[in-house]
Chain A
Amino acid sequence: MRFLFKTDYEDDIKLFPHSGYVVSYGILLALLLIAPYVLSSYLMSQLVFVCIYATVGVGLLILTGFTGQASLGHAAFLAIGAYTAAYLQKYNVPFPVYFLAAGALTGLIGAMVGFPALRLTGIYLVIATISFALIVEEILARWESVTNGNEGMRVKTLSLLGVTVPRDSPTFYFLCLAVLVLTIVGTLNLLRSPTGRAFVAIRDSETAARSMGVNVALYKVKSFAISAAITGFAGVLFAHKLSFISPEMFTLQLSIEFIIVILIGGTFSLHGAVLGAIFIVMIDPFLTYLKDDLPGIIAGIAATFGAGAATAGNIQSKVAAFASLNGLKGAIYGIIIVLFVLFEPLGLYGRWLKIKLFFQLFPLYKRATFKRQKIYVKSERNR
């Protein structure tokens, strides 16, 4: 096991605490860079979605994970980013300009949402953000002169510095990857700055933060604005990737998906956003795979355990019928959410840390290290 010896604060806030980080992230980056030349075009497309979802996840983590303000309205921010891009594109605004404009506008609207949110906590904030998202969805459907209403908007192929970048080209993937990496590095820097420390202080105890001299209102609004702006940037890429946007894409369902991203990934570290995004995006192809191949596999297993050909065929058709049931995906989603909340509240990244610690401490690992304490309900009404 490695012991880090820290002598001053600079040591404590290093981006790469030791050389192992440089090596492992270097390898990861190299793998991601050669990915377009190795993976199939379908997987590449999924990888682009992973980048976009992870970017949103990082944005949401700043707000929910590090400032402690739950939001179920991030689909609205994504929509504002996407529609800004599509609208400005009509007037031949170059990509870098509308990319930044989308982020700026979304950030501004995020700050405007943040102001009223100052007075709200917990469940009230969740409901307020849901209301905001529903109102935005309705505005998108009704403000036809700008958004083209329910018919949706076509998004032209991205053109960057005079070069067209089709949505399934490796260049587009590199662009998304670059946005994600820049977002992560920027967020890491933000989180080790005084602003980030203030965010975490507010999350842990608002009263304590205020008595330490943190301007709670200011930092909450900042957190909303930054989170929304990042989501807006992701929205631009999202619009280009889909090449067509309409209001019914940005529903509450999508907001919930974003929350699931950070919930499944783990809300205490930026790793969570990426792991959660991989999970959410890859669950679709995985379920399709199950639907196609699982019946055959199960029948094969049944056959090896001595079932006759007729029984095996019977089992295969039964499983196939079950796998093609409508809404199976929703049920699996639901079960996954509940299981994660109940049994793995630290998410996938928490599981990774536990496995890592198990091998580092082998054979001294104790389960109790991560055991949750017993908590009793105390009214939040008197807070």
Chain B
Amino acid sequence: MLDFVQQLVSGVALGCVYGLIALGFVLVYKATEVVNFAQGDLMMLGGFFAFTFIGMMGLNYWIGFAGAVAAMALFGMLAERVVVRPILGYPQFSIIMATIGLGYFLRSVAGMIWGTDDLKIETPFSHGVLRVGSLVLAYDKLSVIAATMILCALLWLFFNKTTLGTAMRASSENMLAAYYMGIPVKRVVSVVWAISAAVATCAGVLLAPITFIHSNVGLVLGLKAFPAAVLGGFGSIPGAVVGGVLIGVIESMAGFYLAEGWKDVAPYIVLLAVLLLKPEGLFGLHVRKKV
């Protein structure tokens, strides 16, 4: 039983990381119907920025964290301006390919700048554990869970309660109509990319004590975040986190109770099953086109 709870907690922590990356997908998707295949790589880059600020320049953890988030928000805007805006509205496939290309580019450039070794950031959560009865919970994992909950709540409030959030939802439904309503669509999209890159950075920095940072971490985790986003319905912010947690728990349970090899494929088997039975995801809206 204790094993089960322990696995559950580590699964939830892992899942929260997937959820954080999936949040980035969902944000961009919600606002522009673009699926950003480079989301994981933005996370990786955020981690490297934080490493530069904290590990190499010796800044305080929180200042370095904030600096990395700000820098990545700017970078997200830049990426949107250069890669996505010229083809916004073209078939999804083109945009997917463009972001895959962006991901390739970021991975190699990060490898050139920071090398291919695993890097580690010293964080206040790196050491120490919380003991609840005979249960042992590491601070680094708890910090991921807490941060995910906070970010998820903030973003949900942002999308549903603020004017800018409503503008984002409007521009994803119909860009031209949103423009006629006086929404500065270009600026809105730009802001969405900034937020999504900032969320990715949070994921990268929180992840640093758990998995370390290397140039391929984004690809590996990004691929796991897809099932999370799909499970959650790709357009739902709480859905992304719930999906992420589900994937994380499934993965860690499969790794513990099933034969070797199941751990890596279990999330995808679940994903395919969900796509078959409920293609719109667990939290997605199902709408039929009226002809």
Contacts and interface: CB of A to CB of B under 8 A. Distances in A.
A379 interface: yes
B184 interface: no
Contacts, number: 155
Contact of A377 (B32, B215, B230, B235): B32
Interface stretch (A28-36, A93-101, A134-142): A134-142
Interface in B204-240: 215, 223, 226-227, 230, 234-235
B105 A335 contact: yes
A326 B105 contact: no
Contacts of B104: 330-331, 333-334, 337
A317 interface: no
Interface stretch (A17-25, A53-61, A84-92, A114-122): A114-122
A134 B90 CA distance: 28
Nearest to A379: B173
A131 interface: yes
Contact of A380 (B33, B101, B268, B279): B33
A131 B227 contact: yes
B94 interface: yes
A338 B89 contact: no
Q: Counting chain B CB atoms within 10 Å of each CB, which of A142, A327, A382 scores highest? A: A327
Contacts of A119: 275-276, 279
Nearest to A328: B108
B92 A380 contact: yes
Contacts of A376: 89, 174-176, 179
A372 B87 CA distance: 10
Interface string A311-338: 0000000000000011111110111111
Query: Which of A131, A138, A372, A382 has the largest count of B CB atoms less than 10 A from its CB?
Result: A131
A70 interface: yes
Interface size class of A (residues with CB under 8 A): 35 or more
Contact of A334 (B105, B112, B268): B105
**Secondary structure class of chain A's binding surface, majority of residues:** helix
B164 interface: no
A136 B39 CA distance: 25
A207 interface: yes
A334 B93 contact: no
B98 A342 contact: yes
Interface residues of B, number: 58
B289 A337 contact: no
Nearest to B92: A122
Contacts of A375: 89-90
A380 B89 CA distance: 11
B275 A135 contact: no
B272 A377 contact: no
A338 B275 contact: no
B86 interface: yes
Interface in A24-54: none
Interface in A255-308: 256, 259-260, 263
Contact of B90 (A64, A116, A345): A345
B37 to A, nearest CB: 9
Interface in B103-119: 103-109, 111-112, 116
Contacts of A342: 83, 86-87, 98
A273 to B, nearest CB: 16
A338 B265 contact: no
A330 B88 contact: no
Contact of A135 (B226, B265, B279): B265
B89 A341 contact: no
A381 interface: yes
A331 B105 contact: yes
18 contacts: A116-B275, A120-B275, A122-B92, A124-B279, A126-B93, A127-B230, A132-B272, A327-B112, A330-B108, A331-B109, A334-B108, A335-B105, A337-B97, A337-B101, A338-B83, A377-B171, A378-B174, A379-B174
Question: 8 tightest A-B contacts by CB?
Answer: A337-B101, A334-B105, A334-B104, A330-B108, A327-B108, A375-B89, A131-B268, A331-B108
Given A116-B272, A207-B289, A378-B176, 8 more contacts: A127-B230, A127-B275, A142-B261, A331-B112, A334-B106, A376-B176, A377-B89, A377-B174
